[in-house]
Structure 1
Amino acid sequence: MNTFRSLRRGALVAVVGLAASVIPAHAQAATLDLGACGNAVASLQRSLASVHYPTGGTDGCYGSATKHAVLAFQLANGLQADGVAGSRTLRALRDPKPVVARSRGEGAHVEVDRGRQLLLVVRDGRVTAIFAASTGKAGFTTPAGSFRVYRKVVDGWSNQYQAPMPYASYFVRGVAVHAGKIPGYPASHGCVRVPAAFAATLYRRMPSGSLVLVY
């Protein structure tokens, strides 16, 4: 009898151990935020990257790039947009909402979703990368429409607002995609801000003449 109980107990421990091993490490964590490092963060980074939210790598440390990837995921999934991977965000990663491009044409282009505060990189009609953005606040609405990048300046500067515009890709009447603060809501004077961690990459992905679709 004792032998049977020991075997049963051992089997139960084995099953519990197996279940824990197949659940992603990040799903077992309570909250992940800036400064955290370890397997749970690496697991989170892999999960985000697998659904097209770039994290800047899978080094297992929760830096600015990972924070903004989490923020983008929250914006796309209707969650509290704070860049902190809490229990609701981690649960949502198990069944994320799809992010679909408006334009299904061939080639590469960028789309700006003002409603969800997202910038999408699209190739041949498929979303390949999703970034958090901040568009124009009340009174400074980012214009909607189909535009083309007409000017690019790495160290851009706004004379009107006396403010830096790093990695600026201008697409209509002085409005540009550029690096800036991303609070999770519209906060710019009309431009499309993107996280500094990804600004150089996006700058390279938006050559002169490339399409920018804003809606």
Structure 2
Amino acid sequence: MRRLILLVFVAILLIFPQNVFAQIYMTDKLITIDIRAQTLNAWEGGKIVNSSRVSTGMYYTSTVKGVFKIYKKYDLQNMKGHYPPYEPYNLKNVPKVMYFYKAYAIHGAYWHNRFGYKVTHGCVNEPVAFSKWLYDWAPIGTSVYVY
């Protein structure tokens, strides 16, 4: 596990300029989302403090990759949209919504249990119990690294 973490840090150093690396990893709290593994890790003080399987975007509605910050939070929010070729959706009372880039958010999902699979319209879905923990743990301004 330590070797994997070290490899991730080295890869980030090689991919991103030094100032971006410092911007993400010198913060106290960090959320990392691994699209390939469909996992989310919550980091504090350089250590993983919690993690969960998640669901990210499908082929035509993939989750955006990059380094972001949580900029808005809602305890509950209604969400609707239509992204062809997929069916439209209209979800009421989506729990623990945290926006990190434009309309991309990390939030709880009560309507499915397919965590570990790419099933969303671009958002990062997480189990409701985990979403409550993450929402309380991560303040606005928390760094989010999606890769």
Within a 5 Å distance, the mapping from 1:13-92 to structure 2 comes to none
The runs of 5 or more residues in structure 2 that have no matched partner are: 10-23, 82-88
Give distance in 2, aligned partners of 1:106 and 1:148.
11
Task: Measure, in 2, the Cα distance between the counterparts of 1:137 and 1:214.
Answer: 15
1:195 to 2:100 alignment: no
Provide structure 1 residue ranges, at least 5 long, that are not aligned to the other structure: 1-96
Secondary structure of 1:146's aligned partner: strand
Q: Structure 1 length as normaliser, TM-score?
A: 0.51
Contact 2:27 2:143 in 1 (8 A): no
Question: If each structure's helix is expressed as a fraction of its own residues, which one has the higher value?
Answer: 1
Counterpart CA distance in 2 for 1:182 and 1:119 is 16
Q: CA deviation at 1:199?
A: 1.2
SS in 2 for 1:162: strand
User: In the alignment, which residue of structure 2 is the partner of 1:207?
Assistant: 139
Residues 70-102 of structure 1 show CA distances to partners (whole Å, capped at 9, x for unaligned) of xxxxxxxxxxxxxxxxxxxxxxxxxxx566365
Counterpart of 2:124, as a letter, is: V
Give 1:178's aligned residue: 107
> How far off its partner does 1:196 sit?
1.0
Higher relative contact order (CA 8 A, sep 6+): 2
| Larger Rg, first or second structure (1 or 2) | 1
Letter paired with 1:172:
Y
1:106–1:211 CA distance, 2 compared to 1 (3 A): closer
- Whose strand proportion is higher, 1 or 2? 2
Residue in 1 that maps onto 2:75: 154
4+ residue segments displaced more than 4 Å: 101-104
Give the total of aligned pairs. 119
**Match for residue 168 of structure 1?**
97
TM-score, normalised with respect to structure 2: 0.73
SS in 2 for 1:213: strand
CA RMSD of aligned residues (A): 1.8
**C-alpha displacement of 1:182:** 3.9
